[in-house]
Amino acid sequence: TLRTDLDLLDDVWSGRPTLPLAAVYEHAAPHADLPRAGKLEQVRRAMAEKGAQWHFVSTLDDLAWLFNLRGADVSYNPVFVAHALIGPDDATLFVADGKVSADLAQSLARDNVRVAPYADAATALAALPAEASLLVDPRRVTYGLLQAVAKAVKLVESVNPSTFFKSRKTAAEAEHVRATMEQDGAALAEFFAWFEAAQGRETITELTIDEKLTAARKRRPGFVSLSFGTIAGFNANGAMPHYRASAESHAVIEGDGLLLIDSGGQYLDGTTDITRVVPVGTPSAAQKRDFTLVLKGMMALSRAQFPRGIRSPMLDALARAPIWEAGADYGHGTGHGVGYFLNVHEGPQVISHYAPAEAWTAMEEGMITSVEPGIYRPGKWGVRIENLVLNQAAEKTEFGDFLKFETLTLCPIDTRCIDLTLLREDERAWLNAYHQTVRVRVAPHVSGDALAWLEKRTQPI
């Protein structure tokens, strides 16, 4: 027997905090190019196609995208805790009292969006008219809330339409992201210029890496917050993909080895996520080999052309093939979707053979996805190289429409870690072309030591 009338958390979590109280704010033009009314109309058309008059949404990033709103209720993700009920002509946003200002409520009202208390969501579901049809995403709504829906209401189960719409960035959003990548690349250039100059002159720890890199991003226009907690792992710590340094346990950056840095930022015009590995002292031949194999995997997928609509998990093997050929592998997915000033992990696409290749994971134009293969030697070192890429139209042939990737991330890949004997000529050409792009686009945003570092690290091989 499954009991659903018990709230186990209430029984065991004394002093449970109330709902977050951070203010909700508008993500307006020019950062948001599609108006709220237009997004609601898109969703209503999708509802009608599925035979639903009503749609209930609880997913926080879907709500933020749909209503052109942002918040600060979840660390690193600019979302807010809420529910929404969308009807044929109007919508209700259920959010805690005090989070929506009077001016913002008026702005929402102009698009026929009413603000109601968060606790009223279940009551609104219970009040749906008899014989109505309600679209819900069973993976993204709680069983308890659905219990409030009358038995006479028809449930239409499907992925939230907004999940697909927000994953396909518009041309204007893609341009904003490109500009954000230039600023993020400039912050990284400033950081790495400092890092290389500071080695041997001052004590640097994994915590220092986080502090200095975060400070560099904060100086960039449009910066809001980090997109996740910075991962800085030296040697053995880098072999743990989700390692986090703490005041109680962290490494000093000294001696010889590899430093892995996985970091990202939330900007008004985009979300970034990048991993780079740089040498400290002199990397070994084995470390260079692992680095080069991972680079080959990253390039293999980044250069791929593939049919529009291919299920994204099926692309995973393209990045793993050069690594498998060397008898190595890695235990995480190769890529995840990334939001537009939203969650750094976003669906529906995911490049991972661990994920089921379901129809809704299809690759479509405008999606932004990470490409991040790796090799990890427990107790020794880890290598992961990550860029974000954008799905673009490639060509139409007698076999259908094809897509390709545009690399968005703009930061040099450290050639001091490469075993050049393992690279083919076409791979060298791709890397040289990428570094030329990085240099041309980031250079206008930096000067002094950062510019000198950028020019040095983007020289052709």
What string of DSSP letters covers 287-321? HHHHHHHHHHHHHHHHT-EEETT-BGGGGHHHHHH
Tell me the per-residue pLDDT of 126-152, one tens digit each, with 9 for 90 and over. Answer: 999 988 999 999 999 999 899 999 999
Nearest partner of 294 among 307, 281, 275, 312, judged by Cα: 275
Same domain, 151 and 81: yes
Is 367 inside any structural domain? yes
Of 116, 133, 166, the residue at which a domain comes to its end is 166
pTM over 0.85: yes
273 confidence band (pLDDT: 50, 70, 90): very high
Residue 371's CATH number: 3.90.230.10
Is 3 inside any structural domain? no
Asked if pLDDT for residue 10 goes beyond 90, the answer is: no
pLDDT for the residue numbered 247: 86
Is 2 inside any structural domain? no
Same domain, 18 and 109: yes
Same domain, 365 and 393: yes
Asked if pLDDT for residue 276 goes beyond 90, the answer is: yes
Same domain, 109 and 17: yes
Asked if pLDDT for residue 344 goes beyond 90, the answer is: yes
242 confidence band (pLDDT: 50, 70, 90): confident
Q: How confident is the prediction for the chain on average, in pLDDT? A: 95
Mean per-residue pLDDT, 2-20: 86
Same domain, 266 and 318: yes
116-123: Cβ within 8 A, 24+ apart: 116/92, 118/19, 118/81, 118/82, 118/83, 118/94, 119/94, 120/94, 121/83, 121/85, 121/94, 121/145, 122/148, 123/148
Of 166, 194, 212, the residue at which a domain comes to its end is 166
pLDDT for the residue numbered 283: 95
Same domain, 400 and 264: yes
The number of distinct structural domains making up the chain is 2
Mean per-residue pLDDT, 189-211: 94
Same domain, 347 and 421: yes
Mean per-residue pLDDT, 28-36: 93
192 confidence band (pLDDT: 50, 70, 90): very high
Mean per-residue pLDDT, 233-244: 90
Residue 62's Cβ-side half-sphere holds a number of Cα atoms within 13 Å equal to 26
Of 166, 201, 223, the residue at which a domain comes to its end is 166
Same domain, 328 and 360: yes
pLDDT for the residue numbered 200: 85
Residue 18's CATH number: 3.40.350.10
Tell me whether residue 111 is exposed, middle or buried, using C-beta atoms within 10 angstroms of its C-beta: 0 to 12, 13 to 18, 19 or more: middle
Range of the domain at 301: 168-457
Asked if pLDDT for residue 338 goes beyond 90, the answer is: yes
Mean per-residue pLDDT, 349-373: 95
Same domain, 142 and 172: no
- Calpha distance 308→397 (Å, rounded): 12
Same domain, 219 and 281: yes
Same domain, 26 and 37: yes
Same domain, 107 and 223: no
Tell me the per-residue pLDDT of 38-76, one tens digit each, with 9 for 90 and over. Answer: 999 999 999 999 999 999 999 999 999 999 999 999 999
